[in-house]
Chain A
Amino acid sequence: MAILTWDQSGQRYYETGVDRGVLYIPNGSGVYDDGVAWNGLVSVTETPSGAESNAQYADNIKYLNLLSAEDFGATLEAFTYPDEFNQFDGAVISSPGVIVGQQARKSFGLSYRTRIGNDVDGDSHGYKLHLIYGASASPSERAYQTINDSPEAITFSWEITTVPVAVTGLRPTSIITIDSTKVSPADLTALEDFLYGTAGTDPSLPTPDFVLTLFSGSQTVVTPTTPTFVPATGVITIPSVTGVRYRRADTNAVVTGTVTIGVAGATLVITAEPVDGTYVFAPLSDDDWSFTRNP
């Protein structure tokens, strides 16, 4: 039997700070396939609500507590906001520099990072990534004041409400938090590549299902490579990518090496799929390509 101890060296954890705010913009299908950096992020106050107990009585006793549904909201405070946020704040940019207010509001995604510190590593012990889905911003006050004898920039503040999104096997949720001290560094890097983008990919906010799959340790994220094509000869060169299998769409046959479109002007579609359940394609990655030989 172990004896409990408190506040051991290296176990005096705390959380602090907020940075790396990213605003994710959904496309027409609701996929958060683009992200922009949020500069000047001052604070994010998470305000979950609900789960209120509703006592039920029977047989002259308190029989049970029914809990109301949980909701997630937040208050975001920043010195500034990206131009792309206007559309989520009820504003439309009719032409560059001209912003029309009181327009329809859209929902957006958000991520930010907070630090985990301890008595040994200080503030750099680790961090948490917070992913917010289905967020909507409410109008808020903007108190512009005269410049006086004390320099002070105004901070903007937005009340954020959320609509939970579906998660396989769990209740719908609006927030996922990733603790860097407890997950695989490789998986974390893979997620951050999505969240913050890479040299060849835009930032994006993966779905909760994808995030959970990524950290389940059972699947490896792969990105299919686009086959190369010579339109004059009709030769398609199929790349070799671990975890990816290519097929020709007309016969569904697996293809490797090169495939030639024999008839001038003909079109062939090549598709890609994970070879088995241990691989999953990165969100937003292209998995079918159409090639047409020159007439």
Chain B
Amino acid sequence: MGQRQQLQTILVDILGSNNVYFQPPPSIQLNYPCIIYKRDDESNQFANNKRYAHKKKYLVTVIDSNPDSLIPDKVADLPLCAFDRFYTANNLNHDVYNLFF
């Protein structure tokens, strides 16, 4: 299983459903609550004149109509995860996290 698939599994476990979308196209019908995540950046460390270790950075957005949802906290508890911002749109709460995985 690739690293991205491992992250998918973890997020599905956190959400408790399969509404976890990786870089969904605009045409897809989202079911809420859901988690949307996408590749954002990469952290590299160098040794011996080449990349020695790296981690991919994902932008993870938890979307839930419940403002007291516990799902964002579970995402925030993941290692190497940091809260980025919160906003509401269309009466849905969006919690955005930066996650290295």
Partners in one complex: yes
Residues of A that sit less than 8 Å from B by CB: 17-21, 39-42, 78-79, 115, 147-153
B49 part of interface (Cβ distance < 8 Å): yes
Is B47 a contact partner of A42 (Cβ separation < 8 A)? yes
Q: Which residues does chain B contribute within 8 Å of A19, judged by CB atoms?
A: 48-50
Cβ-closest chain A residue relative to B78: A149
Is B47 a contact partner of A79 (Cβ separation < 8 A)? yes
Q: How many A-B residue pairs have CB under 8 A?
A: 43
Q: How far is the CA of A151 from the CA of B55 in the complex (A)?
A: 7
A153 contact from B45, B81, B82, B100, Cβ within 8 A:
B45
Closest beta carbon of chain A to B48's beta carbon, Å:
4
B43 part of interface (Cβ distance < 8 Å): yes
Is B52 a contact partner of A149 (Cβ separation < 8 A)? no
Residues of B that sit less than 8 Å from A by CB: 43, 45-50, 52-53, 55, 79-82, 98, 100
Known contacts A79-B52, A79-B53, A150 near B100 by CB under 8 Å: yes
Cβ-closest chain B residue relative to A79: B47
Closest beta carbon of chain B to A273's beta carbon, Å:
41
Q: How far is the CA of A149 from the CA of B49 in the complex (A)?
A: 26
A42 contact from B46, B55, B100, Cβ within 8 A:
B46
Q: Which residues does chain B contribute within 8 Å of A153, judged by CB atoms?
A: 45, 53
Q: Which residues does chain B contribute within 8 Å of A78, judged by CB atoms?
A: 47
Q: Other than A39-B48, A79-B45, A149-B80, give 20 A-B pairs with Cβ distance below 8 A.
A: A17-B49, A18-B49, A20-B48, A39-B47, A40-B52, A41-B48, A42-B46, A42-B47, A78-B47, A79-B53, A115-B49, A147-B79, A149-B81, A150-B43, A150-B82, A150-B100, A151-B43, A151-B100, A152-B43, A153-B53
Q: Which residues does chain A contribute within 8 Å of B55, judged by CB atoms?
A: 151
